[in-house]
Amino acid sequence: MRSNDIKDGMEKMPNRALLYGTGLHKNHLSRPFIGIASSFTDLVPGHIGMRNLERYIERGIENGGGAPFIFGVPAICDGIAMGHSGMKQSLPSRELIADIIESICSAHALDGVVLLTNCDKITPGMIMGALRINIPMIVVTAGPMLAGHFGKKRLSLVRATFEAVGRFKSGQIKEKERQILEIEACPTCGSCQGLYTANTMACLSESMGISLPYCATTPAVLNRKTRIAYESGQKIVNLVKKNVTPRTIINKKSLENAILVDMALGGSSNTVLHLMAIANEAKVDLNLNDFDRISNETYHISDLRPGGEYFMEDLDYAGGIPGVLKRFLNSINDNITVSGKKIKQIAKSASIYDEDIIRPLTNPCHKKGGLAVLYGNLSPEGCIVKQSAVDKKMLKFSGKAYVFDSEETAMNAILSGKVKKGMVIVIRYEGPSGGPGMREMLSPTSALVGLGLHKDVALITDGRFSGGTRGPCIGHVSPEAASGGLIAYIKTGDNITIDIPNRKIEVNLSKSEIKNRKETIQILAPKINSGYLYRYSRMVTSAATGAVFKN
């Protein structure tokens, strides 16, 4: 066992003394040392229920013959960080979390680790760290939040709050209704109710085989979640004894399964960043072409929010991720999982209880997957759009650019009525390096929906979008403005063409005009010159490669 490095031999007497100082019993020294990396915090609704799950994971580890140790990992709520400078910290926190997992597990010679996580960057960050040191791990996602209610109407965070800002500004709702929506939109603990980034990453973790079946969709408040936590504690000890490391599970086959499920469900565009970052740590070659290829081959079969009408709890009751995998039994790659079963065995034994929510392949929502990768002179390295959340008439769109150098200035223009039908809003200098931190832009995209402009206005950015975004919003434009991408040289009034079916994005400028602009327009100076974000801006790679740190 790795933990023998800190507990075996006469020379380790001081180490053992300190371990006894934690209250450890002598009998524990012969057991595998199992870490529980918990992102519990009072700051995030998706994480406030984790104290109970920690207890049940501990029980499972003890029952399985291991010695459990809880340690903390930071968590940022993207919804609370949204719309201000705090969002710059969100994506960079993924790299910090990976480093924390690597540091703690290595320093204390842990034999295995349970990753208790839930929200956007925490889940991929933890997985990246465990892959880096390649010790046995299992992921327990704390579960989605239940729907809120306004009478018989079910509420989700994005529509009931972010999009309601625009509806309130335009006079569609009154102050009394606004107050009710604000207080009732998030009625329980858990990750936000739709297929936003947190729940998408939970679904993809299960699809990769690193979470137990039904973990992703089981609501946070159900007792079933505590049983999954308990069983995960038992399973990790077995994984350690059999030396089943994450790189034996996370390979090209399992990553392709995750992409397939992402496309089938219409998941968040952020998963492109996260799966490529996970692949980087797993030493697997994964690129944007893999996403677009699988999207073209995969039917979108579940009409979940934000683009659709169903909630995560509906997906759970309909059959969860095993039910989705069952629909694609002939397409998924067989691979081992932390459950001890192979992924096709899990899919074969699954039941589907609602064919409106997990549709048969003969009746899909769309005959293409949820995401599309666009290329053109505006983004030669590729950019991402959640095509399943785009109105049919906006799949092809041409309009005049309205250019902003920050999210805040764009948001002010939208809410003050300066954005008109037919425009293409361009928000630049919000990429991984230029932001720095590649902020999500749920506030402006939701305001457009609330104002009823999402069927007449497009938005492109070198930043990124929340999993809750809907409408023709194209993110991850690469190269970004700060790296000299063409997006840095666009001017208000330039004509931009977006063609999602044909995977094209172009600005109508001649080569001579582009050359002239590059000679006369200067790239903006960095926005931040100190601290972690400054170091991040100098180390981070393009969004087209997952926005990981340079080797």
**Which one of 466, 483, 537, 542 is the catalytic residue?**
466
Give the integer Cα–Cα distance in Å for 199 and 194: 7
Q: Return the residue matching tokens 């039941």.
A: 351
User: Do residues 150 and 180 lie in contact, with contact meaning Cβ atoms separated by under 8 Å?
Assistant: yes
Active site residue 466: yes
Encode burial over 277-297: b for 16+ CB neighbours within 10 A, e otherwise: bbbbbbebebbbebbbebbee
The number of angstroms, rounded, from the C-alpha of 326 to the middle of its chain's C-alpha atoms is 23
Environment class of residue 242 by beta-carbon count within 10 Å: exposed (0-12), middle (13-18) or buried (19+)? exposed
Q: Is 160 helix (H, G, I), strand (E, B) or coil?
A: helix
User: What six digits make up the tokens of 438?
Assistant: 């590649």
3-state helix/strand/coil string of 22-81: CCCCHHHHHCCEEEEEECCCCCCCCCCCHHHHHHHHHHHHHHHCCEEEEEECCCCCHHHH
CA 529, CA 306: separation in Å to the nearest integer? 36
Contact 326, 348 (CB under 8 A): yes
Neighbouring-strand partners of residue 423: 400
DSSP at 306: T
Known catalytic residues are: 466
